[in-house]
Amino acid sequence: MALLQRVAENGRRVVRFTLDGRPVEALEGDTVMTAMLTNGDRLRRSEFADAPRAGFCMMGACQDCWVRTETGERLRACGTFIADGMRLLSDGEWTS
Amino acid sequence: MNAPVPPVIVPRLAPLPPVIVGAGPAGIRAAERLVAAGLRPVVIDEAARWGGQIYRQPPEGGPFTRPKSALYGLEAGKADAVHRAMAAIRDHVDYRPRTLAWNCEAGALDLLSDGAVETLPFSHLILATGATDRVLPFPGWTLPGVFTLGGSQVALKFQGCAVGRRVAFLGTGPLLLLVAYQYLKAGVEVAGIFDTTPFLTQARAGVGMLRDPVTFAKGMLYLGWLRARGVPIHYNVRPVRAEGTERVAALVWRDAKGRETRTECDAVAVGLGLRSETQLADLAGCRFRFDAADRAWLPERDAAGRSSVPGVYLAGDGSGIAGADAAELAGERAALALLEDLARDHGGRPVDAARVAELDRRLTGIAAFRRALNAAFPFPADWADAIADDTMICRCEGVTAGTLRAVGRSGQAREINRAKALTRVGMGRCQGRMCGATATELLARALGTGPDGVGRLRAQPPIKPLPIATTIPSPAPGEGVKCDRSPPRERATPQAGRSHDA
């Protein structure tokens, strides 16, 4: 299920957020990308190819990891840190 | 009695504080040198903490506890030195982390920080914008589980995560063995090294790399370590496809004899060396030239780092790939060039000529090493030839290789920007960062020319997407919303309206 695998730094504080309405946990210092991909295997569906995407470069260049929150806010998942109470979506096909 | 003398408007001749974009090895060494000269540079960086990509630090908080020896391995000493250099000058620098420089025109940078934009005029600017992985597409490269090599390394050192349980490493360049080694050491299974370079090419080029025996020895160490642990290492490989529906399940690859093999894995880390982030230099008006070694258009710079635009300096991988050690030297050298120019134009202390000579000598040596690296890890041009027409080359908007080739072959596009206009390749959110190399190679083949014959993909502001919620500063009464972009020296009261608003 999870795309990213934790191999170190597991002693961090737990952060609680929701992914597609489901309550899940991440760790303080996780990016939104890490938080989502340790709880699932995609960030979004491509609006052009109807295919799952999970980011690519992890350093703010490819712009493939923009995700949406339940309130419609857009976040670049590799450059935004997870915070308690975030409500993130990975199941929507979205256009911009 | 004399008539009253009208007030004389004195143009501002004094230079503004120097601005550095990028807080990696080049930007930090540049800042250090400027602070040593008594200046207070502005340092703009998109990351939350300094270090750049190569010496990227874990996030604050957590807490993250791995020591630098675990994060940076054999480079821990260098990483620590660069981090400490910035910490030591922190109070003497106007440091702006989490800030994106998204435009550069007419003597001013446009910044975005915490959702608010700001225009920062400059008289002297050092661009140390770094690099990202160079990639070519293959079927399945957009599947979850396919990441860049550099990104796979970021996941490990910045987040303590591996991109999969069983990872295939595909491509060429010094990062290929390094990241595989780091993954294996972290306890991750390495499905194999799939090197696009023939073994003999690397072995022969190794002789040239003996100019830098330490770097060469590190490569040999990683290779020996991977081999000793039974990691399969395949040379002269080309990818056929990544298989999977919702995520990667296998990498199918072809060897030099044309035999196809399917290797099960849940992630693929791919990279073909690095490509420079040149967008700001482009928007600043710097002249570019085609660099045959990097197969890319790069902003021109002299040996000291001066661009073609007076007051704009270039340092590090952002203006040609030479690695982190060279970036440190080039950052300091560019700062010395800036100080030389300040002394010439505005008076002031001359720079340390002995230090300049020392840096110039060491940078010359690195240029030779760079040529050897390019010989050891050549760009697999035939990969580009073999991309099938139905392969998606633009991740942003799903445009295929066939679409791009068609506008070349039909004569509709004789150069890359026309091809961009017609196909939207290079026009999506990434602005060509991920597809630019591919588009250039494909169009060149379609037109029967080389990658130097199709022109240069132009940057457009904003160089990265800005959130819709971005706050635009409200204009002062009587002032239009358009930003004042007159050159700083002619600007009577720069930013006055905005600062009164604040």
Give the per-residue pLDDT at B14. Answer: 77
- Chain B residues 236-275 within an 8 A CB cutoff of chain A: 246-247, 267
Check A4 against B159: CB less than 8 A apart.
yes
Under CATH, which number does the domain B387-453 receive? Answer: 1.10.10.1100
Res B480 pLDDT > 60: no
Phi and psi (nearest 5°) for B4? -60, 140
Q: What is the ipTM of this complex?
A: 0.96
Tell me the mean pLDDT in the region B55-64: 95
A10 neighbourhood in chain B, CB within 8 Å: 160
Least confident of A27-36, B330-339, B469-478: B469-478
Check B395 against A62: CB less than 8 A apart.
yes
Give the start-to-end residue ranges of the domains of chain B.
Answer: 19-133+275-351, 146-272, 387-453
Residue type, B194: F
Give the per-residue pLDDT at B270. Answer: 98
* Cβ-nearest to B433 among A49, A51, A61: A61
Check B247 against A41: CB less than 8 A apart.
yes
Residues 6 or more apart whose Cβ sits within 8 Å of residue B159: A4, A9, A29, A30, A31, A34, B58
Q: What percent of chain B has pLDDT over 70?
A: 88
Res B482 pLDDT > 90: no
Residue A3 distance to chain B (closest CA, Å): 6
Give the closest residue to B126 by CA, choosing from B45, B13, B29, B27. Answer: B27
- Split at pLDDT 50, 70, 90, the class of B12 is very low
Least confident of B74-83, B212-221, B245-254, B267-276: B212-221
Same fold, B19-133+275-351 and B146-272: yes
Check A7 against B156: CB less than 8 A apart.
yes
- Split at pLDDT 50, 70, 90, the class of B5 is low
- SS3 label, residue B386: coil
Contact, B25 vs B85, CB < 8 A?
Answer: no
Residues 6 or more apart whose Cβ sits within 8 Å of residue B257: none
User: CA B276 → CA B186, B193, B314, B477, distances in Å?
Assistant: 29, 25, 11, 42
Residues on A contacting B at a C-beta cutoff of 8 Å:
3-13, 27-31, 34, 37-38, 41-42, 46, 48-49, 51-64, 66, 73-74, 76, 79, 81
Is B69 near chain A, with CB under 8 Å?
A: no
Residue type, B483: C
CA B83 to chain centre: 19
Tell me the mean pLDDT in the region B178-184: 96
- Split at pLDDT 50, 70, 90, the class of A50 is confident
Check A54 against B469: CB less than 8 A apart.
no
Using the Cα atoms of residue B423, residue B318, residue B469 and residue A67 in order, give the sign of their dihedral.
Answer: positive
Phi and psi (nearest 5°) for B58? -60, 160
What is the per-residue pLDDT across B79-113, written as a single tens digit (0 to 9) for each? 999 999 999 999 999 999 999 999 999 899 999 99
Question: Domain spanning B19-133+275-351: which superfamily?
Answer: FAD/NAD(P)-binding domain (3.50.50.60)
Residues 6 or more apart whose Cβ sits within 8 Å of residue B347: none
Residue A75 distance to chain B (closest CA, Å): 8
Residues 6 or more apart whose Cβ sits within 8 Å of residue B153: B175, B178, B179, B182
Closest-CA residue of A relative to B186 is A7
Give the start-to-end residue ranges of the domains of chain A.
Answer: 14-89
What is the per-residue pLDDT across B321-341, written as a single tens digit (0 to 9) for each? 999 999 999 999 999 999 999
Strands A74-76 and A52-53: what pairing?
unpaired
A79 neighbourhood in chain B, CB within 8 Å: 46
Site of tokens 């570019």: B288
CATH 3.40.140.10 fits B146-272, yes or no: no
Give the per-residue pLDDT at B370. Answer: 79
CA B266 to chain centre: 28
More confident residue, B152 or B372: B152
Rg (CA), chain A: 12
- State the Cα–Cα distance between residues B176 and B322, nearest whole angstrom: 16
Answer CATH for A14-89 from 3.30.420.40, 3.10.20.740, 1.10.10.60, 3.20.20.70 = 3.10.20.740
Kindly report the pTM of this predicted structure.
0.91
Residue A45 distance to chain B (closest CA, Å): 10
What is the per-residue pLDDT across B42-52, written as a single tens digit (0 to 9) for each? 999 999 999 99
Res B481 pLDDT > 60: no
What would the two tokens of residue A88 be? 């993130």
Give the closest residue to B146 by CA, choosing from B262, B236, B243, B277. Answer: B243
- State the Cα–Cα distance between residues B327 and B315, nearest whole angstrom: 6
Give the per-residue pLDDT at B89. Answer: 98
Is B188 near chain A, with CB under 8 Å?
A: yes
Give the per-residue pLDDT at B3. Answer: 56
- Split at pLDDT 50, 70, 90, the class of B468 is low
